[in-house]
């Protein structure tokens, strides 16, 4: 019997014939921590007292509370900074040179086809968009990886997702993954991997990363795309070292098969308080107080271009706060160079430097009781972006931008003048 991509990568990294359901000890290529999860990992590492550290495999990225919002977050950032300096770690990314951790892991070339990457953040599954097996872990597990370069994994079963056709204009990866999660539920892929097949060449890499990012919202361990020409082109100028793409065998075994015609998908929005509470945007009747374009799901330059195209020559609704947050310093700079920054400013948007702040209700863009936001983020749990009595609606960048103009959740086609 052949193997899935997940089984192949875990076989390669463990030196075992890894099959779904087995437990293997595998070499990790990189382990990532952020300013929230890192300090716990540093303290646990000290307790291990092994005298060993895999420095080249460790990546430290402050992003959740940057710049620091209070004394507590400043202390977290300080602890990460001092740990990096004390141990002379080569892969520490200070603010001003950094961004949201999952964007940096791709931009800086750590993520690549065939690699096994773990991160002390649940959305580490993002890198499956470029053919890696990547998954979230806890801080104590990160400490173990610091010391040993290895972790144990239960090899997941795999759900095969077959896509056909092409997206229509203003429909993209976010709409597909919201539809998948709505179809199978937030526990429909518990400890399973998604593997994408069919006309994947019609899904841009930025959209693949968004899809893989939200595999965890269905309980998934990973969401993995094959490596193709689009993948190689996307990473060619940034990838570190050599990499080996991994394809599934034709006779690989899957626990479930899902099929989607991309041409039939329409803009989707997930209502509070679960990503699985999705429905077509055309059926929405929701006024909003805030629109948020950004995050590790949809804060890439491709998302910013979509948003700018829609708001160009228009004004943000007077009752809406429109927050635009690029996912990295590189994206921020590209927005300036391409004139996108001016378009958003002219429309009346607020533009921030790269940070996770608003996405997790960290310290900016906080919602008051009764307020509603449409966001290109990945979670809309109770109190996710503010007061427990606030509401978050999840959508793609096109719907977020259009809604900022309309003052209610709409598709770009529903805007006046279209």
CA dihedral 211, 236, 164, 327 (to 10 degrees): 30
Given this model, what pLDDT does residue 417 score? 66
Residue 83 in any domain: the answer is yes
On whether both 123 and 223 belong to a single domain, the answer is yes
Report helix, strand or coil for 133. Answer: strand
For the chain, give the mean pLDDT.
Answer: 94
CB 322 within 8 A of CB 349: yes
Neighbours of 53 (CB within 10 A): 16
Nearest by Cα to 195 from 15, 38, 417, 8: 8
Q: Tokens standing for 139?
A: 């801080």
Given this model, what pLDDT does residue 120 score? 94
On whether both 165 and 282 belong to a single domain, the answer is no
Segments forming the whole domain that contains residue 348: 269-414
186 φ, ψ to 5°? -70, -10
Interval 304-341: pLDDT, tens:
999 999 999 999 999 999 999 999 999 999 999 999 99
Nearest by Cα to 131 from 282, 268, 239, 24: 239
The last residue of a domain, from among 207, 228, 260: 260
- 418 pLDDT higher than 70: no
Residue 246 in any domain: the answer is no
Residue 62 in any domain: the answer is yes
CA-based R_g, the chain, Å: 20
On whether both 46 and 171 belong to a single domain, the answer is yes
Residue 380 in any domain: the answer is yes
Strand order in the sheet with 256-261: 222-224, 192-198, 157-164, 256-261
Nearest by Cα to 94 from 86, 85, 102: 85
Residue 244 in any domain: the answer is no
CATH of residue 351's domain is: 3.30.499.10
Residue with tokens 């603010």: 95
Given this model, what pLDDT does residue 362 score? 78
Please state the pTM of the whole predicted model. 0.94
Contacts for 314 with CB less than 8 Å, ≥ 6 apart:
347, 405, 415
Q: Tokens standing for 156?
A: 């997941």
On whether both 197 and 290 belong to a single domain, the answer is no
Interval 29-66: pLDDT, tens:
999 999 899 999 999 999 998 989 999 999 999 988 88
On whether both 91 and 230 belong to a single domain, the answer is yes
Interval 119-156: pLDDT, tens:
999 999 999 999 999 999 999 999 999 999 999 999 99
DSSP category for residue 190: T
Provide the CB-side half-sphere exposure for 175 (13 A, CA).
25
DSSP category for residue 413: G
- 361 pLDDT higher than 80: no
Residues above pLDDT 70, as percent of the chain:
100
Helix ranges (DSSP H) in 122-204: 139-148, 173-184
On whether both 235 and 311 belong to a single domain, the answer is no
Given this model, what pLDDT does residue 175 score? 97
CB 85 within 8 A of CB 55: no
Nearest by Cα to 171 from 399, 418, 414, 405: 399
Residue 268: band (very low, low, confident or very high) from pLDDT cuts 50, 70, 90:
very high
Number of domain units in the chain: 2
259 φ, ψ to 5°? -130, 135
On whether both 61 and 19 belong to a single domain, the answer is yes
Residue 5: band (very low, low, confident or very high) from pLDDT cuts 50, 70, 90:
very high
On whether both 40 and 95 belong to a single domain, the answer is yes
Residues above pLDDT 90, as percent of the chain:
86
Residue 245 in any domain: the answer is no
On whether both 300 and 218 belong to a single domain, the answer is no
Distances in whole angstroms, Cα of residue 398 to Cα of each of 11, 277, 330, 403, 411: 40, 19, 21, 8, 7
Residue with tokens 């608003």: 358
Residue 151 in any domain: the answer is yes
The last residue of a domain, from among 260, 289, 310: 260
Interval 207-220: pLDDT, tens:
999 999 999 999 99
On whether both 225 and 294 belong to a single domain, the answer is no
On whether both 187 and 234 belong to a single domain, the answer is yes
On whether both 31 and 96 belong to a single domain, the answer is yes
- Give the 3-state secondary structure of 199-242: CHHHCCHHHHHHHHHHHHHHCCCEEECCCCHHHHHHHCCCCCCC
CA–CA separation, 151 vs 146, rounded Å? 10
Residue 209 in any domain: the answer is yes
Interval 61-100: pLDDT, tens:
998 888 888 999 899 999 999 999 999 999 999 988 889 9
DSSP notation for 241-304? S--------TTB--SEEEEEEGGG---EEEPTT-TT-EEEGGG---B-SEEEEEHHHH-SHHHH
CB 20 within 8 A of CB 2: no
The last residue of a domain, from among 207, 225, 260: 260
């Amino acid at each position: 019997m052949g193997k899935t991509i997940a089984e192949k990568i875990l076989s390669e990294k463990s030196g075992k014939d890894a099959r779904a359901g087995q437990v293997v000890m595998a070499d990790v290529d990189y382990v990532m921590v952020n300013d929230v999860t890192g300090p716990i990992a540093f303290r646990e590492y000290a307790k291990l007292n092994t005298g060993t550290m895999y420095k080249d495999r460790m990546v430290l990225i402050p992003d959740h509370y940057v710049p620091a919002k209070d004394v507590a977050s400043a202390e977290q950032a300080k602890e990460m900074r001092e740990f990096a300096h004390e141990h002379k770690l080569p892969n520490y990314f200070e603010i001003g040179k950094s961004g949201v951790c999952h964007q940096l892991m791709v931009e800086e070339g750590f993520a690549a086809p065939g690699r096994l990457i773990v991160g002390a953040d649940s959305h580490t599954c993002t890198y499956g968009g470029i053919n890696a097996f990547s998954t979230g872990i806890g801080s104590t597990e990160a400490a173990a990886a610091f010391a040993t370069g290895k972790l144990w994994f239960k090899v997941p079963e795999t759900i095969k997702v077959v896509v056909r056709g092409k997206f229509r204009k203003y429909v993209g990866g976010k709409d597909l993954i919201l539809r998948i999660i709505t179809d199978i539920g937030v526990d429909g892929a518990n400890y399973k991997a998604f593997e994408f097949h069919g006309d994947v060449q019609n899904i841009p890499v930025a959209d693949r990363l968004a899809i893989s990012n939200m595999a965890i919202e269905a309980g998934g361990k990973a969401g993995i795309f094959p490596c193709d020409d689009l993948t190689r082109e996307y990473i060619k100028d940034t990838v570190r070292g050599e990499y080996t793409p991994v394809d599934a065998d034709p006779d690989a075994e899957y626990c479930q098969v899902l099929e989607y015609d991309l041409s039939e998908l329409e803009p989707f929005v997930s209502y509070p308080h679960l990503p699985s509470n999705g429905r077509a945007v055309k059926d929405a009747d929701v006024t909003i107080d805030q629109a948020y374009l950004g995050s590790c799901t949809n804060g890439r330059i491709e998302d910013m271009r979509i948003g700018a195209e829609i708001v160009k020559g228009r004004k943000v609704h007077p009752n809406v706060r429109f927050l635009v947050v690029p996912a990295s310093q590189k994206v921020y700079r590209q927005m300036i160079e391409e004139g996108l920054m001016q378009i958003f400013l002219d429309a009346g948007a607020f533009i921030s430097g790269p940070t996770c702040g608003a996405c997790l209700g960290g310290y900016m863009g906080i919602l008051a009781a009764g307020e509603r936001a449409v966001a290109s983020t990945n979670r809309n749990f109770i109190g996710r972006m503010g007061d427990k009595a606030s509401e978050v609606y999840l959508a793609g960048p096109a719907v977020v931008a259009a809604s900022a103009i309309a003052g209610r959740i709409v598709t770009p086609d529903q805007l006046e003048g279209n």
